[in-house]
Structure 1
């Protein structure tokens, strides 16, 4: 029986993928790996193998992927570049040494289906994708560019908090299009899990072998439309006030842009330039074909989340 590994199998996307895989294949086929394996006890009771590993403790990666045939590698959770690239490569190398045959890698939807992006957050993804592409003599891969989560709207709206909302959202963008093809995170997890099981059942016929695909929502929303929906759900009139990047960097973000002690607010601001250039406006029907249904619309997700 081909073994499927997920690392990290906790957190938003990883947890969703693990959950949906457990409904698609026997739990005994799963090897779920996380920094806090105690969060995965429900799957252990079902028969999954649970292991401990941590990107930030490279020595734990050495044996993490033993026995895994197909690995779902979730990207390191930050928007640094150098550190992310380093730990991604360590995990990929460990997977190869352990005998993994195929890696699914969770990339991001900046850049659309091109190989360039002005978004700092995309830098490590592009280089990790390139690294995988250089290893096809040792391993096959599928890059899944996961669309921009509907639930991640606070990052793009200056950490807008619906429990304590400001009526004016100050960001280095005027709100006009092009915008974002928002997509529900759990539907990304479900679609990715379905992709993995499709590969495992018939690797020879899998059409995304050594390819990338883009999973997106089916409608593009400008940031102004995004904010209007937030206002409609909350029953408030919300607006965007465009500010300079320098002024954005000066705002109090409560450390939310800080990684390893470094404030990356200025680097994060490149995301708005990427949106302005249309990088997050690309739409494909891949998620609809994989799920065999229309994905949930942005406003529906937001109403369930905060309505």
Structure 2
């Protein structure tokens, strides 16, 4: 996730950067299976914990380019605070360009508005990066809003399990459009790595300084179409039953998956479905396929292939 400031290491570090990003975000085919393999290829592996100030400061020492992956949680204020601390620590350590891994809700890359709870920390962080750019001459950023992972479909289908399929999915949505521009997780990693490697190779001509990019699929599926594909793969009839936010949140399989630091975020998670109604996840972007140099993998193919993983 880092570029060293040693000119002799640029080629090696770019290679390591691409490999490590792909490992971090999906373990692409023909790439290392874990970070130890990435190290063997020249990646500089450093460990840090968002909740450990000292480890964050130590990990950024000597780094000029950073890909900051967001705190893994659905919380709002705590995530925002930890993101801001990490950004401050990076700038204090001499980082000159931060690529921030945001989330592909809010619609188009230009939109700043979102009703979904899990998105709240991201606009906070995006605004903070813009403020830091004004306050710290020589510092720059690029925001990478990453679309909803195909592999994350259980989060939006009441944790539908292809190995133990049910006939009814209870969610606070009727399944109609606008839909979701699903995207394969490892292709997000690959495209992000390509974007950053373009910057590392030629920072002066990089076109996405102070820009917000959107990496999403090129095809949008409604939730009904998504469930239809899951039904086809599972070989059982599956239907959506629209329920209230409370009924969704009180399902036995929901609460354990949305509890962070002892707080149940099941009902706030239901805001995702209002975001779908508003089209926040429906924006299809060509940038992902441009960086990949090919058409992104479709939803069904990714899900089917995941069964053999």
Output the TM-score relative to the length of structure 2: 0.88
Whether 1:210 and 2:205 are equivalent positions in the alignment is no
Query: Which of 21, 24, 35 matches 1:15?
Result: 24
Aligned partners of 1:305, 1:51: CA distance in 2, in Å?
Answer: 29
Q: CA deviation at 1:243?
A: 0.3
Q: CA deviation at 1:291?
A: 1.0
Whether 1:71 and 2:66 are equivalent positions in the alignment is yes
Aligned partners of 1:48, 1:151: CA distance in 2, in Å?
Answer: 26
Matches within 5 A, 1:92-131: 92-112=87-107, 113=109, 114-131=111-128
Aligned partners of 2:255, 2:268: CA distance in 1, in Å?
Answer: 16
Q: Is the 8 A contact 1:14 1:74 kept in 2?
A: no
Residue 4 of structure 2: aligned partner:
none
Residue 173 of structure 1: aligned partner:
173
Q: Is the 8 A contact 1:142 1:208 kept in 2?
A: yes
Q: CA deviation at 1:254?
A: 5.1
Q: CA deviation at 1:14?
A: 6.4
Q: Is the 8 A contact 2:255 2:264 kept in 1?
A: no
Total equivalences in the alignment = 287
Structure-2 change in CA distance of 1:119 and 1:254 (3 Å): closer
Residue 275 of structure 2: aligned partner:
274
Residue 46 of structure 1: aligned partner:
41
Query: Which of 42, 57, 73 matches 2:52?
Result: 57
Aligned partners of 2:285, 2:303: CA distance in 1, in Å?
Answer: 22
Aligned partners of 1:213, 1:254: CA distance in 2, in Å?
Answer: 33
- Residue by residue over 1:45-72, the C-alpha shift from the partner in whole angstroms, topping out at 9 and shown as x without a partner, is 3333222210011221112111111101
SS in 1 for 2:67: strand
User: Please, which runs of 5 or more residues in structure 2 have no aligned partner?
Assistant: 1-6
Q: CA deviation at 1:181?
A: 0.4
- Residue by residue over 1:29-56, the C-alpha shift from the partner in whole angstroms, topping out at 9 and shown as x without a partner, is xxxxxxxxxx632222333322221001
Two-structure CA RMSD over aligned residues (Å)? 2.1
Residue 148 of structure 1: aligned partner:
148
Aligned partners of 2:40, 2:304: CA distance in 1, in Å?
Answer: 34
